[in-house]
């Protein structure tokens, strides 16, 4: 048995040129060896910007790098053959395969259509003008190069509820399309930011059109048959009606031979909002713990001024651990992204220890933190600079420690603003551990482990401390950590 441990196998600035799928295949054995149990892969289908697309500007869900569309056959990450080889390599090493699903919008339409629209107040989406504008909109997707292979479905303006650009007259903004499905305005069961957050970008998919929802269910069956994937990451669900995703999840679970692992991105820092979504979909998906990630960001910025006893306050993992996927960073929190909230390098080992070695939540590890990354960025002076994202030296050890030591009853010592600790009691098969961390000066904790740990010797797995600690006849010991650091104490013999 293993503790579930996910890995996000990409980042926003991953280089183009078809390098990712070969890297996935190459590193699958290593990921399995260190204790990763499933890999989340980026959107594998053709985006509106073709071979340069990160994948979130969905163009054709059925083009996995197989058809010459949007200027290339391959996607940014490689061609279909490379993608399927990467999936098979992961599965060969008993790793789960989680595919990214971006259903909220489409971009890069093939043709314009004459449509009728209403202007929408961007700050209050429920404020929809009564004035009707006739204009051209990019809403027709025919996928000529694919020529009906896999699906003959043609997307037109009846499939969308809104756009952000019209022509003749030319105007940018938010425009609600008038068709048979949009008379009641926007969809319900979406986030209430801006009054109603149904519209996000591009041509906004309208799930009230039954032909659309059935096509997306069919695609779910198709992608499972093509890949044999074991799960999905659902993008931007705060903009998609919860009733649709409940139906879609029910459908793919019924069609799958094994339960599919599902995690959704609802990026809100309000725990009741996250819990409401979980309730709306009847608990059928997990959610990323955005509030915990924000706590890590603040803790890393504030240093010793941050009260570590509050690190789990107002988080999903504290309120509903069974539905929480815990994280330190992802592609959306990277610099220059809309949800930018980077965790400072000094705090990342502490943050990863808090998600990898604790009982609550399912942790996910981010590509740059484990492997390292670099990318080019333009500075204020107009010159290009290489941005380096070095790997965290201790992270591989912490992932292995999750499988070896993070077992048994957890006891918390969240009792000092600058120094906290927790212990895992271990099981018959796996030894436990003691974790001590500080965001200020070097710290120490008196940990009572019980008679079963009398006169045991302990070493710091992360090698920040060279001393050996021995518990007394009652199994009690003084466990230490360095300033601004974390120590993971394990049995030395």
> Tens of pLDDT along 59-92?
999 999 999 999 999 999 999 999 999 999 999 9
The domain limits of the chain are 6-102+211-401, 106-208, 408-491
Q: Are 23 and 84 in contact (CB under 8 A)?
A: no
Query: What CATH number belongs to 6-102+211-401?
Result: 3.20.20.80
- Residue 261: name the closest of 404, 101, 102 by CA: 101
Q: Reduced to 3 states, what is the DSSP secondary structure of residue 322?
A: helix
Judge whether 6-102+211-401 and 408-491 match in fold.
no
- Residue 478: name the closest of 447, 436, 450 by CA: 447
Quick one: pLDDT at residue 341?
A: 80
- Residue 15: name the closest of 78, 99, 109, 72 by CA: 78
198 is in an annotated binding site: yes
239 is in an annotated binding site: yes
- Outline where 285-438 has alpha helix (H): 290-302, 316-319, 348-356, 367-371, 395-404
Q: Report the C-alpha gap between 48 and 107 in whole angstroms.
A: 5
Instruction: Quote the distance between the C-alpha of residue 471 and its chain's center.
Output: 41
- Give the chain's radius of gyration (CA, Å): 25
467 is in an annotated binding site: no
Active site residues: 235, 265
- Residue 39: name the closest of 263, 324, 250 by CA: 263
Q: Are 316 and 324 in contact (CB under 8 A)?
A: yes
> Tens of pLDDT along 150-186?
999 999 999 999 999 999 999 999 999 999 999 889 9
Q: Which CATH class is domain 106-208?
A: mainly beta
Model pTM score: 0.96
| 380, pLDDT greater than 90 | no
- What is the average per-residue pLDDT within 36-60? 97
The CATH superfamily holding the domain 408-491 is Golgi alpha-mannosidase II (2.60.40.1180)
> Tens of pLDDT along 332-355?
877 767 777 889 999 999 999 999
């Amino acid at each position: 048995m293993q503790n579930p441990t996910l890995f996000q196998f990409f980042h926003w600035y991953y280089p183009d040129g078809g390098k990712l799928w070969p890297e996935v295949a190459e590193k699958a054995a290593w990921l399995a060896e260190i204790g990763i149990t499933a890999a989340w892969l980026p959107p594998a289908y053709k985006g509106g910007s073709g071979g340069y697309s990160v994948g979130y500007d969905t163009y054709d869900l059925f083009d996995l790098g197989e058809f010459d569309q949007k200027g290339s056959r391959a996607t940014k990450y490689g061609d279909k053959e490379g993608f399927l080889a990467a999936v098979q390599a992961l599965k060969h090493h008993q790793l789960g395969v989680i595919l990214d699903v971006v259903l909220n919008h489409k971009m890069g339409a093939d043709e314009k259509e004459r449509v009728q629209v209403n202007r929408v107040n961007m700050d209050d989406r429920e404020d929809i003008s009564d004035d009707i504008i006739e204009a051209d909109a990019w809403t027709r997707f025919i996928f000529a190069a694919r020529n009906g292979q896999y699906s003959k479905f043609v997307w037109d303006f009846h499939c969308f509820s809104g756009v952000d650009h019209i022509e003749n007259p030319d105007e940018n903004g938010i425009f609600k399309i008038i068709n048979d499905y949009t008379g009641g305005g926007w969809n319900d069961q979406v986030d209430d930011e801006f009054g109603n957050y149904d519209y996000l970008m591009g041509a906004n998919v309208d799930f009230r059109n039954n032909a659309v929802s059935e096509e997306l269910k069919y695609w779910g069956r198709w992608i499972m048959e093509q890949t044999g994937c074991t799960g999905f990451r659902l993008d931007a669900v705060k903009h998609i009606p919860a009733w649709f995703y409940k139906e879609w999840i029910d459908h793919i679970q019924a069609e799958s031979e094994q339960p599919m692992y599902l995690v959704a991105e609802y990026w809100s820092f309000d725990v009741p909002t996250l819990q409401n979504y979980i309730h709306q979909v009847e608990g059928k998906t997990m959610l990323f713990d955005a509030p915990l990630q924000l706590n890590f960001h603040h803790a890393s910025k504030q240093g010793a001024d941050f009260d570590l006893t509050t690190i789990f306050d107002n988080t999903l993992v504290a309120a509903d651990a069974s539905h929480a996927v815990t994280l330190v960073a992802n592609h959306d929190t990277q610099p220059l992204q809309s949800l930018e909230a980077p965790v400072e390098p000094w705090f990342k080992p502490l943050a990863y220890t808090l998600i990898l070695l604790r009982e609550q939540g399912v942790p996910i590890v981010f590509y740059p933190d484990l492997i390292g990354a670099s990318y080019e960025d333009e500075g204020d002076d107009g010159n290009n600079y290489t941005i380096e994202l070095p790997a965290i030296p201790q992270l591989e050890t912490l992932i292995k420690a999750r499988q070896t030591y993070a077992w048994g009853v957890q006891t918390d010592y969240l009792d000092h603003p600058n120094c906290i600790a927790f212990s895992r009691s271990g099981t018959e098969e796996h030894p436990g551990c003691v974790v001590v961390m500080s965001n200020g000066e070097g710290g120490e904790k008196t940990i009572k482990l019980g008679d079963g740990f009398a006169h045991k010797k302990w070493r710091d797995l992360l090698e920040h401390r060279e001393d050996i600690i021995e518990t007394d006849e009652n199994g009690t010991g003084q466990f230490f950590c360095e300033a601004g650091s974390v120590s993971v104490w394990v049995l030395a013999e």
